[in-house]
C-alpha cells in the first residue's frame, strides 16, 4: 500500500487496542496499522491522516461513528485541552488492562522472552487526587477557546495560571479545577491568581520574557503539610511580601513557603538559589519508618501511596535474607536503597546528580543506616571495572533508570559483575525490554509486575526479576 497524503480521511476505522503513549490502534481494509489520537479502543472513527509511513499511519479522530462500551464520561471540564489525563474517558478497569497488555507486548516482542510469570497489574487505590506535587505556570496570554477566537471580540481577561497547552508552549490554559491533587490545591491556586490580579501583579510574558509571577508549585506530605514554591521573574519586594503574607494567613496548612528569582529562558529550578520566606524550607516525609527531607528541588515519587507499594514489591522481589551486598543503580535520593538496606548487609548506590547523592547521604544518616554508601557520576563512567574492583561483589542488583533505560556500557558492566539476582524497576517497559534482551543469554526473566502510578494516563511502571542462569 503506497503512502497516503496528509489530511486524507480514512473512514470507519475500528479501534481494537491501545498502543504506546496512549494512542488507539486500528487497521485499514488493506490491513495497514493506524495509530489514532482523540479516541479510545472500541470506538469506530473517521481519521484524518497526519503522517504516513511504510508500515503504519498516524492520524487523529475527526468523527466518532460508534462509541466504545468502555468509554466513561470525563470528570474534568478541561479534558482534551490541557493535555493531561488523556485516558479519563476510558474506564479504569480498561486502563489497567491496556497498560498490562502494553508491558506484556513489549517484553515479548522487544525483549524476545515468553516464559515468565505475570503478576497481575497493581492498580492505584486512588484514581484521582493522587499527586503530591503540581506545578502551574503564570501567563499574560492565556489559551483562548475556539469560541473566543471566532467571536472576534476584544478579550481583556488574558491572564492565566495553569498548564501549558501541548504543542503551544506559549499558551497556558487558565485552570478552573484539577482532580489530580487534593484540596486546598485548587483553592490555593485560585486565591493566588485572584489576589495577584486584584493588586495588579504582572503575570509572566512568555514571548517577551517579562513580568513578575512565573510559576507556582505546591507539594504536600502524607501528614497534610504543604510546601509552596514560587518562581519570580524579577524581584518586586513589596508585591512579593504582600502575596506571600496573604496566602500564609489564608492557608494554615502551609508548613513552608520558598521562592526563587528566575530570569532565565526556562523554568528549571535546579540551578536556582532557593530562598526561604517561611518555615524550614522543606517537608519531612515518612515511608514505613524511614524519614526523608523533601525540598523544592527534591525528586520524590508524586503518588505517595503507590510509591510505597512499588518499594514494598521491589523489596519482595529482591527477597533479601540480610547478608547480601546490594547495588542500587540510578539511586536518585536513595529512596529504594534505604528501603532495602534494613534487610541487607551493605547497599551501594550510584547516581549522576550530586544534589541527589547529598540528599541520599543525609537521609541515610537521618535514618541511622550505616550500611549505605553513595557515589556520584555518570553511570557508564562510574560503574566501571575499576569501581567493581574496589567494592565487594554484588549479590543483588537493583536498577531504576530513566525512560531511556540503561546505557549499553552499563548493561555490559552488569553482566561482568554477574549478580545472582537483578530487580529492574522501569517507567518505560519498551527500553526495559530492550535491556532484558541484552541480558537474556545470562539471565532468566522470572516474573514481572506492572504498577500503575498514574491513573487516567497511559504511563505504567514495571518491576522485573531476573535470576542468573
Closest alpha carbon to 268 in 139, 135, 99, 82: 135
Residue 385 has pLDDT above 90, yes or no: no
User: Could you tell me which residues come within 8 angstroms of residue 154 by beta carbon, excluding any fewer than 6 positions away?
Assistant: none
The answer to whether 330 is annotated as binding is: yes
CA 232-238-243 angle, 5° bins: 65
The answer to whether 30 is annotated as binding is: no
Can you identify the CATH homologous superfamily of domain 93-127+303-468? Vaccinia Virus protein VP39 (3.40.50.150)
- Select the more confidently predicted residue: 395 or 153: 395
Closest alpha carbon to 82 in 13, 159, 179: 179
Can you identify the CATH homologous superfamily of domain 1-70? Nucleic acid-binding proteins (2.40.50.140)
Task: Write out pLDDT tens, residues 194-241.
Answer: 999 999 999 999 999 999 999 999 999 999 999 999 999 999 999 999
Task: Write out pLDDT tens, residues 234-270.
Answer: 999 999 999 999 999 999 999 999 999 999 999 999 8
What residue ranges of the chain are covered by domains with CATH 3.40.50.150? 93-127+303-468
| Lowest-pLDDT choice from 15-29, 140-154, 358-372, 425-439 | 140-154
**Catalytic residue ranges:** 427
Query: Beta 396-399 vs 325-329: how paired, if at all?
Result: parallel
The answer to whether 286 is annotated as binding is: no
pLDDT band for 1, please (50, 70, 90 cuts). Answer: very low
| Lowest-pLDDT choice from 42-51, 148-157, 230-239, 326-335 | 148-157
Position 83 scores a pLDDT of 81
Region of residue 334 (left: phi > 0; alpha: psi -120 to 50; beta: else): left
Query: Beta 226-232 vs 213-220: how paired, if at all?
Result: antiparallel
Which pTM was predicted? 0.92
Task: Write out pLDDT tens, residues 298-350.
Answer: 888 899 999 999 999 999 999 999 999 999 999 999 999 999 999 999 999 99
Task: Write out pLDDT tens, residues 439-455.
Answer: 999 999 999 999 999 99
What residue ranges of the chain are covered by domains with CATH 2.40.50.140? 1-70
Percent of the chain at pLDDT > 70 equals: 99
What rounded mean pLDDT belongs to the chain?
94
What residue ranges of the chain are covered by domains with CATH 2.40.50.1070? 133-287
Residue 169 has pLDDT above 80, yes or no: no
Q: Which residues pair with 146 in a beta bridge?
A: none
The answer to whether 400 is annotated as binding is: yes
Task: Write out pLDDT tens, residues 406-415.
Answer: 999 999 999 9
For the domain covering 133-287, report its CATH number. Answer: 2.40.50.1070
Rg (CA), the chain: 24
Amino acid at each position: 500500500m503506497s503512502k497516503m497524503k496528509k489530511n486524507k480521511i480514512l473512514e470507519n476505522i475500528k479501534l481494537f487496542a491501545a498502543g504506546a503513549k496512549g494512542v488507539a490502534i486500528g487497521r485499514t481494509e488493506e490491513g495497514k496499522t493506524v495509530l489514532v489520537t482523540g479516541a479510545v479502543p472500541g470506538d469506530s472513527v473517521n481519521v484524518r491522516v497526519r503522517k504516513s509511513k511504510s508500515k503504519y499511519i498516524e492520524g487523529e479522530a475527526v468523527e466518532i461513528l460508534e462509541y466504545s462500551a468502555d468509554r466513561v464520561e470525563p470528570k474534568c471540564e478541561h479534558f482534551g485541552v490541557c493535555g493531561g489525563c488523556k485516558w479519563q474517558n476510558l474506564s479504569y478497569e480498561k486502563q489497567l488492562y491496556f497498560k498490562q497488555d502494553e508491558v506484556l507486548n513489549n517484553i515479548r516482542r522487544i525483549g524476545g522472552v515468553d516464559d515468565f510469570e505475570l503478576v497481575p497489574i497493581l492498580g492505584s487505590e486512588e484514581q484521582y487526587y493522587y499527586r503530591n506535587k503540581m506545578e502551574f505556570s503564570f501567563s499574560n496570554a492565556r489559551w483562548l477557546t475556539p469560541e473566543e477566537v471566532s467571536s472576534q471580540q476584544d478579550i481583556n481577561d488574558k491572564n492565566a495560571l495553569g498548564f501549558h497547552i501541548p504543542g503551544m508552549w506559549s499558551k497556558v490554559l487558565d485552570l478552573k479545577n484539577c482532580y489530580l491533587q487534593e484540596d486546598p490545591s485548587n483553592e490555593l491556586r485560585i486565591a493566588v491568581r485572584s489576589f495577584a490580579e486584584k493588586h495588579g501583579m504582572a503575570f509572566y510574558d512568555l514571548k517577551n520574557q517579562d513580568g513578575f509571577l512565573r510559576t507556582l508549585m505546591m507539594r504536600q506530605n502524607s501528614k497534610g503539610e504543604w510546601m509552596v514554591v514560587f518562581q519570580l521573574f524579577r524581584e518586586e519586594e513589596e508585591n512579593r511580601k504582600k502575596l506571600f503574607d496573604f496566602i500564609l494567613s489564608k492557608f494554615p496548612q502551609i508548613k513552608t513557603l520558598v521562592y526563587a528569582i528566575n530570569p532565565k529562558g526556562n523554568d528549571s529550578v535546579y540551578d536556582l538559589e532557593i530562598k526561604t520566606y517561611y518555615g524550614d524550607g522543606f517537608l519531612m516525609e515518612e515511608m514505613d519508618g524511614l524519614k526523608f527531607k523533601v525540598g523544592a528541588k527534591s525528586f520524590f515519587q508524586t503518588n505517595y501511596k503507590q510509591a510505597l507499594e512499588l518499594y514494598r514489591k521491589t523489596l519482595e522481589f529482591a527477597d533479601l535474607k540480610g547478608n547480601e551486598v546490594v547495588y542500587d543503580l540510578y539511586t536518585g535520593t536513595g529512596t529504594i536503597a534505604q528501603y532495602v538496606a534494613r534487610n541487607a548487609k551493605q547497599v551501594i548506590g550510584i547516581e549522576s546528580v550530586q544534589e541527589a547523592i547529598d540528599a541520599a547521604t543525609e537521609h541515610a544518616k537521618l535514618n541511622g543506616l550505616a550500611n549505605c554508601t553513595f557515589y556520584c557520576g555518570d553511570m557508564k563512567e562510574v560503574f566501571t571495572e575499576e569501581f567493581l574492583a574496589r567494592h565487594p561483589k554484588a549479590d543483588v542488583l537493583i536498577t531504576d533508570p530513566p525512560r531511556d533505560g540503561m546505557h549499553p556500557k552499563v548493561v555490559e558492566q552488569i553482566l561482568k559483575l554477574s549478580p545472582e539476582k537483578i530487580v529492574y524497576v522501569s517507567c518505560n517497559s519498551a527500553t526495559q525490554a530492550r535491556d532484558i534482551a541484552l541480558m537474556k543469554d545470562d539471565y532468566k526473566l522470572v516474573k514481572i509486575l506492572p504498577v500503575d502510578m498514574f491513573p487516567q494516563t497511559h504511563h505504567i511502571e514495571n518491576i522485573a526479576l531476573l535470576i542468573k542462569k
